[in-house]
């Protein structure tokens, strides 16, 4: 069974201090997939980040921690918190997936180079079939290890390349038919 995993759709992700991002339509694509999952009563897990750092956009004592209104769980949808990029670490995600009978994960959200990549790698290593939906994820511009500035599109593309074929299969949302 496929479970939709929506990562870090919190108010803080729109903070300007995170810098330029790519894929401005990602949230719309995520919401279309969420609507499809809800229409079919397929399982959905929302994962939010609870930072331990007061200067984080996801610090729990400020508005950025709040889940975006359009991504609020409904019905039996699960809401989990994480304190590190990987959604499998220090929470019940694997247990929830077992209870749901899920062996295939459809991963969307932010940031491609961070929580998406960490979660997809771990999921793949744990034996799940992981699909990362490229047009339902986004990330931010970043300097590479050597100090060269990379656009958000470049960071996104490299993260997807890191995942595809080894830890996950990268697809576009058109792979999912209502």
**CA atoms within 13 A of residue 142's CA, in its CB half-sphere:** 19
Chain mean position to CA 42: 17
pLDDT tens for the chain, residues 1 to 178: 899 999 999 999 999 999 999 999 999 999 999 999 999 999 999 999 999 999 999 999 999 999 999 999 999 999 999 999 999 999 999 999 999 999 999 999 999 999 999 999 999 999 999 999 999 999 999 999 999 999 999 999 999 999 999 999 999 999 998 6
**Cα 156 from chain centre:** 13
52-62 as b/e, with b when 16 or more CB fall inside 10 Å? Answer: eeeebbbbeee
Q: CB neighbours of 5 closer than 8 A, spacing ≥ 6? A: 45, 47, 87, 105, 106, 107, 108, 109, 119
Place of tokens 């903070």: 15
For residue 178, what pLDDT is reported? 66
Please report the pLDDT score of residue 154 as a whole number.
Answer: 98
The span from the CA of 161 to the CA of 108, in Å, is 16
Homologous superfamily of the 2-12+19-49+69-175 domain (CATH): Isochorismatase-like (3.40.50.850)
The domain spans of the chain are 2-12+19-49+69-175
Q: Can you say whether the dihedral through the CA atoms of 114, 29, 45, 129 is positive or negative?
A: negative
91 Cβ neighbours under 8 A, 6+ residues apart? 47, 80, 81, 82
């Amino acid at each position: 069974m496929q479970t939709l995993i929506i990562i870090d759709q919190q108010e803080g992700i729109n903070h300007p201090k995170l810098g330029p991002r790519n894929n401005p339509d990602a949230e719309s694509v995520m919401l279309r997939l969420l609507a499809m999952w809800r229409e079919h009563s397929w399982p959905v897990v929302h994962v939010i980040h609870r930072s331990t750092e007061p200067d984080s956009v996801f610090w729990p004592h400020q508005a950025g921690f709040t889940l975006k209104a359009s991504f609020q769980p409904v019905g039996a949808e699960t809401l989990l918190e994480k304190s590190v990029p990987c959604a499998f670490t220090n929470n019940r995600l694997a247990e929830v997936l077992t209870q749901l009978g899920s062996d295939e994960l459809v991963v969307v959200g932010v940031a491609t180079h961070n929580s998406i990549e960490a979660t997809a790698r771990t999921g793949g290593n744990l034996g799940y079939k992981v699909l990362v939906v490229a047009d339902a994820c986004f990330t931010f511009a970043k300097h590479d290890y050597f100090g060269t500035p990379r656009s958000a599109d470049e960071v996104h593309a490299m993260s997807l390349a890191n995942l595809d074929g080894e830890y996950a299969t990268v697809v576009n949302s058109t792979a999912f038919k209502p």
